[in-house]
Chain A
């Protein structure tokens, strides 16, 4: 790469990055910049460019561009100023998330590390700050596991085993039943297996943590699942080349019952209905929702539990749609009664919903007919032309092996949500 790395700009603050430059900043990064600049409440942070990633991957020695880390430090200082916290400061620690993000949305394909900046000292500071030891150890054990897995390749099962051992020892089934002491024990066990598996102690220096994390995200671009995904969806280097790294101040949805985390669609992605859709968990972190470990509540419940937050969320929805002129799939966190918008991207919907939203957005004047047509991939219309299950089949048909087909009666199978209406159903067979 013909870049003079001494003076080249590798890092952009959310307040300065060009929201239309997805190629450089990645989709997520460009979006964070754009969201910040249109006045949504995005936690402060910055983007390390895809160019830095390519530079790293292409340099045979896997070296970061020379000046990159010093630019990262400069931007970290700006985040410290904006938040009034300090990275590695035991009195008032700044914690960040480190996420990947390439030019094209590849959901779940790349890695994320949360709570970066925690170590033995800052953990104590965090606990003093929040007065919540349980919260502190919970964040710590999550960080050790994610960092271990994403940055150092320690398998989940190793941590899960330790976690289950502690749960069994104290006779607790749900994570929420664990006390601060239990979680402290978990984090100590996690640190030990980290060392056993990596042959090194867990890094205490937050900047060392950050550098390792950045390298891990960069490397994930050439990992198996990212490569598989790009091959399957025919994503060429012209379309997306390298991943950016987004470093963002952590906000916590698990700081008590005035905190929550959730995901929303500005319209229903299964039907296209023009109504906020999504789900949330009170007193939880985002990964709890996405991983499906706890079963979340439907979003309309928020109006009962936190009416002011529900009102702000409706406002956020209107703002997102009127700016992006597209259905948005967004993540939010409420930390102690303050709503933060952490991410938004164009919502992936089935064909039925795409068609309905296209027609309704034209009716309401949000988009033109041309835009309405162009936002739908023609091949996706085939989905709508798939056969559906025949209604009233239970009484009529028998299945081939002469034993009667049974419908599994609810509530034996209680299924929560329609996901893809009118789709093919399939079957499986013996090996």
Chain B
């Protein structure tokens, strides 16, 4: 864009990537800077307006590229024989000052020695430990590189979604009886165990926190409409196959019944039985999908509620965690696995799941001869859980706040609806200062958290408490977590360095 107003329109209002191209920039262009990914000017030095402002904003800028003729009136720039017009893709490199036509691929950054040292100082003064959310050993390795002190959230459902596993997961879900389900789970068990062992090994001796299955299980199944379409197609196919049979017998009539032992004139490609079997299977899945349909899945059959109604699933996961620990211990590794239960609202739910854990632990310890240390905790993401923190603390070794769900529950906002419909206006009109899904609402959600920490620790002094929502990587939320007395925050791997420094700031300015 050759004009700040249009850059603002394209970049901010239409959310398109924009580079602002000018001969030189003036303070009046500032709104274009905000909207642009980068700035290119043909005049000026490293202390020119464009350079100073872009530097402050952390945006790439190439200033004083004298080989470029910028014609703002005609909205084009000429570089030698090339003409760049609005709408063309270019790439600028603020480090080298180079300009490229087209999109240039990017590479991931490396940590400098200085950054490592500075963040080491940060860890020394911080009280909050910074952990990462990671679902695979590769994620975990990346988190380690960023300096994570452990995994604060591993979402097991991500493992269920892998291409080669999904059919087994679907089989488990649509199983008509416990035996069928168990056979699918028996195949999932070694996969999950290998997943967990990979995470424990990568992170050893740091803690790894695994959340038992959380989403409603119909999320793993195809949609009703998709299934209906597929069944429709299969039925057409069945008709066609019947038609082929008719055709084959008709040919016999036409050719006068010759070649009784010869090749049939019409080849049967697919057997009618196979199609019939496929239809039956799809209809079975469709029935299951219909049976599992919920009016409001967010508040429905998910989390610990699944663990209680389908105990086999949680039992498989718990076994996989404990057996993975046993395997690591047998190899002489120091590991600190933790499992946590999502969507808990009453201590009775926790006791129920803990019973499974105790049984399976005894069994695994007996079988392997190892002593297992895996800790048992609860997510705090339901308002009632905050109110009942004292009794939950009797069963849990640790609390982990899921502030995304807790924010939805506290406001009674569904995140997608809120962000797409009314939140922008709420922010614009100042009804809410921030988007509570970006910036932790310390006054409301935070108040619940403070109460839960206080009551939880009244029951169990020294109870370990953390946060694993997206808020865990936001500096102002981290400052709040420090004040509220949390022990750790967990965030996405690339946010870990930010969170480490923010945790130090929180400790130094508290």
Contact = CB atoms under 8 A, between A and B. Distances in A.
Interface stretch (A6-14, A113-121, A365-373): A365-373
Contact-residue size bin, chain B (C-beta under 8 Å from the other chain):
35 or more
A381 B501 contact: yes
A416 interface: yes
Given A369-B121, A389-B107, A397-B105, A421 B79 contact: no
Contacts of A383: 58
A270 to B, nearest CB: 8
B329 interface: no
B54 A422 contact: no
Contacts of A232: 30, 34
A376 B96 CA distance: 25
A349 interface: yes
Interface residues of A, number: 80
Q: Which of A356, A381, A419, A424 has the most CB of B within 10 A?
A: A419
A416 B49 CA distance: 15
A422 B508 CA distance: 29
Interface stretch (A45-53, A79-87, A404-412): A404-412
Given A370-B508, A420-B59, A428-B87, A389 B16 contact: no
Interface stretch (A128-136, A167-175, A188-196, A285-293): A285-293
A341 to B, nearest CB: 16
Which secondary structure characterizes the binding site on chain B? mixed
A152 interface: no
B285 interface: no
B80 interface: yes
A292 B43 contact: yes
Interface in B26-62: 26-28, 30-31, 34, 36-38, 41, 43-56, 58-62
B93 A425 contact: yes
Contact of A378 (B52, B94, B498): B498
B264 interface: no
A415 B55 contact: no
B457 interface: no
Q: Which of A270, A295, A407, A420 has the most CB of B within 10 A?
A: A420
B17 interface: yes
Interface stretch (B63-71, B166-174, B399-407, B480-488): B63-71
Nearest to B26: A108
Contacts of B6: 431
Interface in B100-158: 100-109, 112, 114-115, 117-118, 121-122, 124-125
B494 interface: yes
A419 B46 contact: yes
Contacts of A349: 55
Interface string A346-388: 0011111001101110000000011011101011111111111
Contact of B98 (A279, A292, A408, A417): A408
B423 interface: no
Interface in A258-280: 263, 269-270, 272, 278-279
Given A359-B114, A382-B58, A416-B46, 6 more contacts: A358-B118, A413-B97, A420-B55, A423-B38, A426-B37, A428-B1
14 contacts: A279-B47, A360-B114, A373-B122, A381-B498, A399-B101, A406-B101, A408-B80, A419-B63, A423-B58, A425-B60, A425-B93, A428-B1, A428-B18, A428-B90
